[in-house]
């Protein structure tokens, strides 16, 4: 009888220990900080995690890379008070409670490619350069 009581007390102690809330510690650290000239009022991250869009209170959308480098900015006007992701990475919805409107904008990034020192055909001062990337596998 004493052994059964001992086993019962061990089981009860284990069950009580499992139902007690565990005190956990949460560690966190600041990985990067983007210092802005204007107060941010909304932000979103593109679905491919490549771009961070920050809407400021002066009506600008600041476009940052995922590493926190400012890529560009778009002036959308102070009436815009919210931004939402579009169905594609190059689309944003701009919401305005004041004007009761939603604008859909598309964003396209152009990159300058330096062709200096690359093999060319034709005059070097041609108004258009066609770059062919054919050596990739």
Q: pLDDT category, 127, cuts 50, 70, 90? A: confident
Using one digit for the tens of pLDDT, what is the confidence trace for 62-112?
Answer: 999 988 899 999 999 999 999 999 888 889 999 999 999 999 999 988 877
Q: What is the largest CA-CA distance in the chain?
A: 103
Residue 115 lies in a domain: no
Q: Give the three-class secondary structure for 121.
A: coil
Domain of 84, CATH number, reads 2.40.10.480
Query: What total number of domains does the chain contain?
Result: 1
Q: How do strand 70-75 and strand 60-65 relate by DSSP bridges? A: antiparallel
Range of the domain at 81: 40-106
User: Per-residue pLDDT for 133 more than 70?
Assistant: yes
Dihedral pair phi/psi, residue 103, rounded to 5°? -110, 140
* Residue 113 placed within a domain: no
What confidence tens digit (pLDDT) does each residue in 17-59 have?
A: 666 566 778 889 988 888 888 999 999 998 888 999 999 999 9
pLDDT value at position 23?
Answer: 75
Looking at the domain assignment, is residue 77 inside a domain? yes
Q: Check: CB of residue 78 under 8 Å from CB of residue 58.
A: yes
């Amino acid at each position: 009888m004493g052994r059964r009581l001992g086993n019962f007390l061990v089981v009860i102690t284990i069950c009580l220990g499992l139902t007690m809330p565990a005190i956990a510690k949460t560690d966190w650290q600041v990985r990067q900080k983007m210092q802005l000239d204007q107060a941010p009022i909304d932000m979103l991250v593109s679905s491919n995690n490549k771009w961070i869009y920050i809407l400021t209170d002066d009506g600008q959308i600041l476009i940052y890379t995922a590493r926190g480098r400012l890529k560009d900015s778009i002036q959308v006007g102070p009436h815009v008070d919210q931004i939402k992701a579009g169905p594609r990475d190059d689309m944003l919805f701009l919401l305005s409670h004041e004007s009761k409107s939603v604008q859909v904008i598309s964003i396209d990034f152009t990159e300058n490619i330096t062709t200096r020192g690359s093999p060319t055909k034709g005059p070097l001062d041609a108004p258009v350069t066609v770059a062919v990337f054919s050596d990739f596998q």
